[in-house]
Structure 1
Amino acid sequence: MLRSFDFILIGVMTATAVVTYTIKHKAELKLEEVHRLESEIKLERDTIDLLKADWALLTQPNRLHRLINVYQSELDLVPTAPTQLAMPKELPMPKSQLPQPETTIEQLIAGVDPEVRAAIRGVDKAKATKAASTVPVPLPRAARSIDVISTGSVED
């Protein structure tokens, strides 16, 4: 009886050793995955820091002032007036919320509706007077490079 009990104990010890080794192996795999994820996180943080440094370099006031001076004749840049700023509720509604017109395109083309005919005459009259445009139009850019600042790159 002692001999069969020994074999049972040896089997239990072997099974316990196999289970222990399996758990240890899974824990080591998880630890490797944690180290890999930590290195990826460090790489992403380094990339973010590099991009922040690039952004700080590109948005330096003296650099922007120099670019403004170079491209002033082409862009006609002026300071933003306080009246040009709008709140989101002041913006026009999206296209999907616009009311549908009561006249069809065929009626507009034919000019059947008297209001449409009056509007077309008003448009023709406005085209005939041809008011001067107040919107500045940029001139074509010259082939010169003012921005010669070299910055770091995220990719190697």
Structure 2
Amino acid sequence: MRALMYLLAALTVMVLAFWAYRENYRTQAQIDEMQAVQNEIARLRDDLGVLRAEWAYLNRPERLRELVDMNFDRLRLGAVQATQFGAARNIDYPRPPEPAPAGTETGGPEPDAAPPAPSNNRGAPVPRPVRAAAPAPEAAPEAAAAAPGPDAAPPGGAGAPDDADLPADSVITETAPED
């Protein structure tokens, strides 16, 4: 019985030694792979720095002006003007889905419903009617005390342009060649 216990102990030690040997080599392989990935990341960061420097060099304003002047006959590029931008209210957003009628279970379109009319938009946004501004609600005394400070976000979200800032008749246009 004692010999069997010695044999089992020796087999257990040999199995554990084999397992530790394999885990050691797996760990070394993972460390080598991690170092290779870190070296590649460092190389790609260096390449990115070079590409950013090249981009900055190629996009110098004086170089771009020279290219525009040199190719004006072919491209007819002009300076961007404020009248080339449209108002935010002219963006044609998709309409929200209509709620299902009470008689239908699926909520899908009626089988005899006419298909939507094709748009004659041709790329230009359809002007939306201007809605009258809603009257301001009565301000409570607590709300007046909690007035926004100088670092509060503008109405409409942080950095969102207000339609009042843009001219009402502004449309997106292209610079036409002058003949």
State the TM-score, normalized to the length of structure 1.
0.52
Question: C-alpha root-mean-square deviation of aligned residues, in Å?
Answer: 2.9
Which residue of the partner structure matches residue 110 of structure 1? Answer: none
Structure 2 unpaired stretches of 5+: 95-115, 119-174
Distance 1:88 1:52 in 2: 33
Taking the TM superposition and a 5 Å limit, the aligned residue runs for 1:44-123 are 44-86=44-86, 90-91=90-91, 99-100=116-117
Using the TM superposition, give the Cα deviation of residue 43 of structure 1 relative to its aligned residue in structure 2, in angstroms: 2.8
Tell me which structure has the larger Cα radius of gyration.
1
Corresponding residue of 1:131: none
Aligned to 2:176: 135
Structure of higher RCO (CA pairs closer than 8 Å, 6+ residues apart): 1
User: Is 1:37 matched up with 2:37?
Assistant: yes
Which stretch shifts more, 71-80 or 54-63? 71-80
List alignment gaps of at least 5 residues for structure 1: 102-133, 138-156
Q: Following TM superposition, by how much is the alpha carbon of 1:24 offset from its aligned partner in structure 2, in angstroms?
A: 0.9
Deviation at 1:80, TM superposition (A): 1.6
The residue type equivalent to 1:31 in the other structure is I
Post-superposition offset of 1:4: 3.3
Alpha-carbon spacing, 1:2–1:93, altered in 2? closer, same or farther (3 Å): closer
Give the Cα separation in 2 of the matches to 1:92 and 1:8.
Answer: 79
Compared with structure 1, are the counterparts of its residues 89 and 10 closer, same or farther at alpha carbon in structure 2 (3 Å cutoff)? farther
- 3-state DSSP of counterpart to 1:100: coil
- Report Cα offsets for 1:94-136 as digits up to 9, x if no partner: 8xxxx525xxxxxxxxxxxxxxxxxxxxxxxxxxxxxxxx932
More helix by share: 1
Q: Segments of 4+ in structure 1 off by > 4 A?
A: 91-94
Between the two proteins, the alignment pairs up a number of residues equal to 102
